[in-house]
Amino acid sequence: MRFAAPLLAVLLTAAAPPVLQTATFAGGCFWTMQHGLDEVPGVVKTVAGYTGGTVANPSYEQVSSETTGHVEAVRVTFDPARISYADLTRRYFRMIDPTDSGGQACDRGPSYRATIFTNSSTQRQAALAVEAEAARQLGRKIVVPVRGASSFWPAEGYHQHYADKNKLQYGAYRVGCGRDRILAKLWGGAK
């Protein structure tokens, strides 16, 4: 059967899968970041892991020792037809205290520092614009570095989607850590 060119184009377009993109965000414990990012419409997949350091394929114990230069991060696969990189970055900023250079809430140390890792100059420009927007909203200096993406190492399996697999333990950690109170106080009055 032969199709007319316009009909064939429509059929091919309709069958084409979405063109997905990736983003990488660090913001304290990757359990919390992954849990929050999984709930964002347009996010297709998240992976908890380590990035930004000097050790290949690090373990949790190595990263926690604060000697590798890595941060706990989440690699996000998203559909840009459903959420733009800029809007995803805005959602990320509402999940962190971007004025805290020592970690996030009870998660302290360099491996818990908030950082945005960009995959292109377009992502970098968008991240910097959203960062400037957050500074205006909060009326405070933002201390989240925007860096080029580097090798990303998935964390051990027991860390993946920890909040969903360990609801009681994660719930106790989340309440005990106080992150929600900090974010409500910080962002509650932001416009």
Strands (E), the chain: 21-26, 43-51, 71-78, 103-104, 107-108, 115-118, 146-148, 152-154
pLDDT at 154: 98
**Res 131: pLDDT:** 98
Identify which of 108, 145, 118 has the alpha carbon closest to the alpha carbon of residue 29: 108
pLDDT attached to residue 8: 53
Q: Which pLDDT value is given to residue 11?
A: 54
Q: What pLDDT sits at residue 15?
A: 61
- The tens place of each residue's pLDDT in the chain, 191 residues long, gives 554 556 555 555 556 777 999 999 999 999 999 999 999 999 999 999 999 999 999 999 999 999 999 999 999 999 999 999 999 999 999 999 999 999 999 999 999 999 999 999 999 999 999 999 999 999 999 999 999 999 999 999 999 999 999 999 999 999 999 999 999 999 996 65
Give the residue from 125, 47, 112 showing the smallest Cα distance to 84: 125
Q: pTM to 2 decimals?
A: 0.89
**Active-site annotation holder among 23, 26, 27, 29:** 29
pLDDT of residue 18: 77
What one-letter code names the amino acid at 22? T
Residue 177 a catalytic site member: no
pLDDT digit string, tens, across residues 41-55: 999 999 999 999 999
Domains and CATH numbers, the chain: 18-187 (3.30.1060.10)
